[in-house]
Structure 1
């Protein structure tokens, strides 16, 4: 029979493949607690228990045996593929095999396979698939008992829920991640990552006082971290200061972030940061239109060289908002029509902002009643999903557009 730890890993894999809980597999004959200890490798199986479990799982007792070479092969293949720089497709295939057939994989390595696969997952993955993958990542981290993996999984899930517009759940996961990082005295980077997403969810749910307090902690904690992390911390702080109406503080942090990150350091972050800066300039009151346009003009050459479909979509969307803010209604409408259903690929907040823009264009084009009703519905939806900051932004944009339409 397989050794104690190998038996437990294989038992867990077979149980999960059949969609059974520990209680369902135990079925009252053995205790779920004993089954849990078998799976964790802390208790050895007796021949009688192994035979019972094999019968319940519909396999022979030999199914618990995994030859050492077979258990090692996925690890060896992964290492070879990743270090050969053969592109993401072969690596993704191997990661999928490792995740679907985890027998022989230590829990930390299984977690790493899940984490890596999430990083290269297709942009066409559904929300349900992303959430399922995120939940499995967290379950594996919790089974491993490694606090660093748990904190990182919680941050990943928080970011995912935030991108889907579920701010309350995102906030809860971020708060838990930050608590783990502080309580277990994890590396500074783990606390910074958790704090950044926590601050964002606080600001977006109108917990501005809490967000400002945490920004002070973030600015202190992010000092001395790697450059990219410091850049993201400054960007996070700038967003909070914009919402607080402290535009000088927001601009100072934006400029510092852009100075720290040159295009030769991390071109993807360089473009992402400028998209964020352009959006923030458009949200400022009064709108900083010239700075937004100048920032987008900086990005365009790099976008033509290395931009992805998602980055092009984000660029065109921000440009459409820029045209509208400049009073160039026809240009904004034309660009929105080109974007069309591609806007469904945007994250929740950007997708709602795009829908609002469409209806603001309707209002400026004379379709007052239709446009106002649609925007009111979007504002209510944002409020109901705890996106308080987004709801306030929608009402503000509607009021300003109505005032402009009536005065023209």
Structure 2
């Protein structure tokens, strides 16, 4: 099996770390009544956010009076958002009328023009769940819903990094496995590598692991999955890396249930600070939902026309599915392969409309020797340029760009 070594493009800075919580909101119904087009647009955009995929939101024009009319004969949803233009006593009177039709379990959020702490305290004292001021952004709305309904109010969820190839055979699995190992060992933090190519995954072979039986059975009955069961299914690799390998019987008859992968990832991110997913090259509902929900997506491609075509399609779809997130990180793999005509890295990136990307130089010997020995790259060739590049990519994904932080400090001290 041939592999390629990684060479990060000089001068490429990391995307700023996503300040939003990873919290996903449980299934619930919401209704929003908007006075201005700006607020309506923000809520419409927020409703497409990956963190709110389980929230079914009904958006209407009109404020408190319209909401009162709609719910005079209907039960109010779990979340009711109303935009208001009134002030003071008039606003309080409107909300008193609205309260007459609200179910006691409904959480009411008011969006208004007054930046007044006294009003805020009065509204909360009267049972309003939250008060947002002025023109809100989609992320303001997402954060509000997370705060009110988030499932991890008592525990911080881990970050999920999803690796997907634009085409088969571009080295996605090798890259995901080595990044997971590097994060685990060099950051000394518990990390889980999940091989989602259940039929033909390579994690067990490349990392010399003993297969654990039974995963296929529990993925066909995801209701039985929990943290204790996950601990029994994973294989420890080193002090900090845990691996969930693919099926031990790759050609068995068991099929994962439709929501099995989603359930598996929820349990994983509640148990590990970092979760690295190695996705198969397909576009199944499970892959689509996994890429939508991940904190960061890494698309791996080779510098040829079929890969460019597939990467453009992936990027377009992921931008639509993740409207409030930074674009996926693009890794251009197998660059400068001898005797092969290829698309230049800058031209490839320009076609995608991305500025921050990484290139991977073709060097099959370094990765090949590690895979043949069943070892991670840092075990086999810890001082290689390839491992240095893997380390830089892991640092970028974790949002710990030490070079950038040091330069900022030097400028602050007047030394840079």
Task: Give the alignment's TM-score, normalised by structure 1.
Answer: 0.30
Higher RCO (CA-CA < 8 Å; seq separation 6+): 2
Structure with the higher fraction of residues in strand conformation: 2
| Higher normalized helix content (fraction of residues) | 1
User: Taking structure 2 as the reference length, what is the TM-score of the superposition?
Assistant: 0.30
